[in-house]
A and B are shown apart, each in its own frame.
Chain A
Amino acid sequence: MRFLGLALAAVLALAAGPAKAQTVSYAQAAGLLAQHCGGDIMNHCRGLNLGNGAIHNCLVQNAAQLTPACAANHAGIREMTEARAAAQKQVYKTCDRDVAQFCPGLVPGDGNIVSCLLEASKVVSATCTASLVNAGYAQ
């Protein structure tokens, strides 16, 4: 279960810093994919790109040929990216009441809802704050 070790390392790395996000940055996840699967991608998925799930699909299709490190980790790494994306989407739901309370009448756009929530960070709810951290919007 290399992925468990990987996830644990990521959590520990995060716990050591000021941020307590339960997700990792896109850069971190993408770096891990390159680290564990870079060679596999060049061997089995040459010509394909990260977008539209093409690399993921290719790795799944070539599961039997992958190196152990890539086979053990690529699904978990994809989960990291998906978790960050879900966390970013979740902010608008989790912080719904905070937006109504602290950002009344704000027209969505130009990232102004996130900006308003960050400006009101001292008073927004704990769940909203946690959501902002998970999304990578706040530390």
Chain B
Amino acid sequence: MTLFRFANMRLGAALLLAGTAAIPALLDARPASAQVFTPNAQIVQGLQASVDDVPQVSAEALRGLAQAHMKYTGPPESRPPLAIQLDQLAQINVEIVFDLNSAMIKPESYRTLGSIADAMHNPVLLGYKFLVVGNTDATGTRELNMKLSQQRSDAVVEALSTTFRVDPRRLQSVGLGEEALQDARHPDAAINRRVQIFNVGRAGALAQQ
């Protein structure tokens, strides 16, 4: 059971590649209550990068692009990719399991959510903002997928910002539906059902609440 897939890391890629082989075994072997290993350090590393040189990516802009992308009515594999340079951002892909056709995060993913929160509270990332992006595969209607993915990314942000106290001013949520398939040649593949978290730059001064 590999809970985390890491993509496009700009820092420490070699280190992480070397580490990935060991992670699934450790996750499987670890009793849930022992603090032997958490993937927290890996999440922190994946989301840590100098993003000062990357153009601003806003939730609104991304949502607009996804809506515009719905005009391409051909089969998923024939549609052009979303025209946005998200690859430049420090990011991780996270597997969060939702109940079928629902925005309910299943309990098996609670620990993953907690790990993401721990990473966002890590001093290294404390000063950054994040975009939480939900994606579905191409099963079902595009409109429903768009709506469902937005509800799911909202549910993730809600848990992070309420239960786990990540400042809501550091979080934005976008659902891209099936408009940004990771594997467009296999539109129904599980790899497309993912939550992405992007580091979108410094949070700036936030008054304490």
Question: CB within 8 Å of B: which residues of A?
Answer: 6, 9-10, 13-14, 17, 24-35, 37-38, 41-42, 46-53, 81, 85, 88-89, 92, 107-112, 114-115, 118, 135-137
Indicate the member of A28, A48, A52 with the most B CB atoms within 10 Å.
Answer: A28
Cβ contacts under 8 Å, A88 to chain B: 121, 165
Indicate the member of B35, B103, B117, B208 with the most A CB atoms within 10 Å.
Answer: B35
Report whether A49 and B123 are in contact in the complex, using a CB–CB cutoff of 8 Å: no
Cβ contacts under 8 Å, B114 to chain A: 25-31
Q: How many residue pairs, one in A and one in B, have C-beta atoms under 8 Å apart?
A: 137
Q: Which of B12-20, B57-65, B77-85, B105-113 contacts A (4 or more CB under 8 A)?
A: B105-113
Q: Identify the 10 closest CB pairs spanning chains A and B, nearest first.
A: A111-B126, A109-B205, A30-B114, A51-B158, A110-B127, A31-B111, A27-B114, A38-B107, A111-B127, A26-B114
Within 8 A of A (CB), among B187-209: 202-208
Report whether B40 and A137 are in contact in the complex, using a CB–CB cutoff of 8 Å: no
Which of A24, A37, A112, A137 makes the CB contact (< 8 A) with B35? A24
- B9–chain A nearest beta-carbon distance, Å: 20
Report whether A32 and B33 are in contact in the complex, using a CB–CB cutoff of 8 Å: yes
Report whether A108 and B205 are in contact in the complex, using a CB–CB cutoff of 8 Å: yes
Indicate the member of B108, B155, B164 with the most A CB atoms within 10 Å.
Answer: B164
Q: A46-B99, A52-B158 are in contact. Are A32 and B35 (CB under 8 A)?
A: no
Report whether B162 and A35 are in contact in the complex, using a CB–CB cutoff of 8 Å: no
